[in-house]
């Protein structure tokens, strides 16, 4: 079985780590990095920390407007898929890299008329907030995919409601595999700034809706700093480059009890999560990791895809409401964190289940479907387009 994996952004490197390891035991994997994230701290650090093999191909797309970035990915990825003719294209999550890879793999046709199958890891998540670019990306990826690998029962139910049940399987959440693997190795990796501030609150912020408007960003940070001061807790804030850009451009100073650091590698992050008294975040992945670490989480968004953490009492969705934030951080029972923590996201063997699902679906003949004739020839004349050159 030949699998072409497409990753591009920080959370995708985390998710791909365990799956790559499991895949490569028996199969051929070609790892394609779109280049959406490119700073050492946003990309290479994860390949080192998670011991992921270097990408076979880097499309070096970089940053840009949504259309520009996604369009470049489409243009650069298509010839790679055509050259390697994988059985599967494997995508993760909900970024522009996910969207581009899903669109390419559902459109290309090989010379003999076959096309790759598309598998989507983390299928079925919904925030039901169409203002988020991630929600639009994940809905498109789910509807294009041949195999929908759902992490939770809630995700599987969303897929069923959208008529996608036949292509869906619940496999658990591969972030449990990645996080558990890293937790065994993270002890020595607590950043010095955090080690010097025991009882710290860990803060991450990067969602467009929270950080692109400087007034909103300042209000969120101030609300957290005020609540943290009431708890006498310092705040450690590894700053995403998108957020750093806004802080710098608007010359925004941080409150005295907030210590900003550069984005950290995965082992440092897991050490920070395990050492934190509370985690405040707008990240999807970090909400789940807080649960795995047994640390109470306040989610600085108006909704969450990870509703199980809320139902279990470990996560409070407070949006940008300073009163709700203050109430959560003043709630002694919530902060005590001594509630049960059932295996909501699987047993850490999700990567193996993903590989089995890919094998089974390929063997069952539903794989590598013939491309409809009219998708094989569109657009540019043969000499201008790789698809046409191969598909003749
Ligand atoms: C992207 C994903 C988001 C995911 C997040 C994980 C989309 C639409 N969004 O958001 O779903 O939660 O990744 O972190 O795909 N930048 C750098 N260096 C880098 C990468 C980015 O400086 O290595 C800066 C650039 O100014 C860039 C900005 O960060 O314009 C935003 O990067 P981008 O990848 O477009 O979106 P994210 O906010 O990272
Ligand atoms: N992460 C990290 N260093 C950081 C911030 C996040 O290693 O400085 C990890 C985090 O532990 C999680 C993933 O990156 O595994 C989440 O990425 P992010 O919050 O950027 O994206 P999201 O999950 O919201 O899509």
Question: Are 288 and 309 a contacting pair, CB within 8 Å?
Answer: yes
Both tokens of residue 354? 């993903």
User: What separation in Å is there between the alpha carbon of 242 and the centre of ligand 1?
Assistant: 6
* Per-domain residue ranges of the chain: 2-173+347-390, 190-336
Q: For residues 322 and 224, what is the distance between their CA atoms, to the nearest angstrom?
A: 8
Give, as one character, the DSSP assignment of residue 369: P
Residues 200/261, Cβ–Cβ less than 8 Å: no
How confident is the model over 321-354, as pLDDT tens digits? 889 999 999 999 999 999 999 999 999 999 999 9
User: Is 14's C-beta closer than 6 angstroms to any atom of ligand 2?
Assistant: yes
Q: For residue 62, what are the CA distances in angstroms to 5, 30, 57, 255, 313?
A: 18, 20, 14, 32, 39
206 catalytic per annotation? yes
Fold of 190-336: Rossmann fold (3.40.50)
Give me the percent of the chain exceeding a pLDDT of 90.
91
Q: What pLDDT is recorded for position 322?
A: 87
pLDDT, position 365 = 66
Q: What is the pLDDT of residue 368?
A: 46
Assess contact for 132 and 171: CB atoms under 8 A: no
The token duo for 156 is 């599987």
Taking the CB of residue 214, how many other CB atoms lie within 10 A of it? Answer: 14
158-169 pLDDT, tens digit per residue, is: 999 999 999 999
CATH of span 2-173+347-390: 3.40.50.2000
Residue 364 has what pLDDT?
Answer: 86
Q: In whole angstroms, what is the distance from residue 180 CA to residue 292 CA?
A: 8
Atom of ligand 1 nearest to the CA of 245: 26
DSSP-H helix ranges across 252-283: 266-275
Residue 71 pLDDT grade (very low, low, confident, very high; cuts 50, 70, 90):
very high
Tell whether the model's pLDDT for residue 267 goes beyond 60.
Answer: yes
Does the beta carbon of 95 sit less than 6 angstroms from any atom of ligand 1? yes
Average pLDDT of the residues in 173-199:
98
Residue 341 CA to chain centroid, in angstroms? 22
Q: Is 86 in the pocket of ligand 2 (CB under 6 A)?
A: no
In contact, 279 and 250? CB cutoff 8 Å: no
Residue 205: pLDDT over 60: yes
The pLDDT tens digits for 295-328 are 999 999 999 999 999 999 999 999 988 899 999 9
**Which residues contact residue 274 at a Cβ distance below 8 angstroms, ignoring those fewer than 6 apart?**
183, 186, 293, 295
Q: State the pLDDT at residue 94.
A: 98
The answer on pLDDT for 57 being more than 70 is yes
Nearest CA to ligand 1 atom 9: 95
Mean pLDDT, range 66-92, rounded to an integer? 98
Higher pLDDT, 187 or 373: 187
Same-fold call for 2-173+347-390 versus 190-336? yes
Residue 244: CB atoms within 10 A of its CB come to 15
pLDDT at 379 over 50: no
pTM of the model: 0.94
Which residue from 242, 357, 302 is spatially nearest to 10, judged by alpha carbons? 242
pLDDT digits (tens, 9 = 90+) for 235-245: 999 999 999 99
**Torsion-angle region of residue 211: left (phi > 0), alpha (psi -120 to 50) or beta?**
alpha
**pLDDT tens by residue, 101-120:** 999 999 999 999 999 999 99
Report the distance separating Cα 112 and Cα 107, nearest Å: 14
- The tens digit of pLDDT for each residue in 209-239 reads 999 999 999 999 999 999 999 999 999 999 9
Which pLDDT band, with edges at 50, 70 and 90, does 367 fall under? Answer: very low
pLDDT of residue 320: 87
Q: How far is the CA of 240 from the centre of ligand 2 (A)?
A: 9
Q: What is the pLDDT of residue 136?
A: 98
Q: Locate the ligand 2 atom nearest the alpha carbon of residue 273 and give its number.
A: 11
For residue 286 and ligand 2, the question of a CB distance below 6 A is answered with yes
Beta strand pairing call for 297-299 and 315-317: parallel
Strand order in the sheet with 201-204: 258-261, 235-238, 201-204, 278-281, 297-299, 315-317
Catalytic pick among 37, 120, 206, 240: 206
């Amino acid at each position: 079985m030949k699998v072409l994996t497409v990753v591009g952004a920080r959370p995708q490197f985390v998710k791909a780590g365990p799956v790559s390891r499991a895949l490569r035991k028996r199969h051929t994997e070609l790892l394609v990095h779109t280049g959406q994230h490119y700073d050492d701290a946003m990309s290479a650090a994860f390949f080192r920390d998670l011991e992921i093999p270097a990408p076979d191909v880097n499309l070096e797309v970089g940053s840009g407007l949504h259309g520009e970035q996604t369009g470049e990915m489409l243009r650069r990825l298509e010839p790679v898929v055509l050259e390697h003719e994988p059985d599967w294209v494997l995508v993760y999550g909900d970024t522009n890299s996910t969207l581009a890879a899903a669109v390419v793999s559902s459109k290309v046709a090989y010379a003999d008329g076959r096309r790759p199958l598309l598998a989507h890891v983390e299928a079925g998540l919904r925030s039901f907030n169409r203002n988020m670019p991630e929600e639009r990306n994940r809905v498109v990826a789910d509807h294009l995919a041949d195999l929908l690998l759902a992490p939770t029962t809630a995700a599987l139910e969303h897929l069923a409601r959208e008529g996608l049940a036949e292509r869906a399987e619940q496999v658990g959440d591969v972030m449990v595999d990645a996080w558990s693997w890293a937790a065994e190795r993270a002890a020595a990796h607590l950043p010095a700034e955090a080690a010097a501030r025991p009882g710290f609150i860990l803060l991450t912020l990067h969602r467009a809706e929270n950080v692109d408007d400087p007034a909103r960003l300042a209000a969120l940070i101030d609300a957290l700093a005020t609540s943290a001061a009431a708890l006498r807790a310092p705040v450690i804030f590894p700053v995403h480059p998108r957020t750093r850009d806004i802080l710098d451009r608007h010359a925004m100073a941080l409150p005295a009890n907030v210590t900003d650091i550069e984005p950290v590698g995965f082992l440092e992050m897991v050490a920070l999560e395990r050492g934190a008294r509370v985690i405040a975040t707008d990240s999807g992945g970090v909400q789940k990791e807080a649960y795995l670490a047994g640390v109470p989480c306040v989610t600085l968004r108006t909704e969450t895809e990870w509703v199980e953490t809320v139902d279990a009492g470990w996560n409070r969705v407070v949006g940008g409401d300073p009163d709700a934030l203050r109430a959560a951080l003043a709630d002694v029972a919530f902060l005590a964190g001594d509630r049960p923590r059932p295996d909501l996201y699987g047993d850490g063997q999700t990567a193996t289940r993903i590989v089995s699902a890919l094998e089974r679906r390929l063997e069952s003949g539903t794989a590598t479907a013939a491309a409809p004739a009219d998708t094989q020839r569109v657009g540019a004349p043969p000499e201008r387009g790789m698809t046409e050159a191969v598909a003749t």
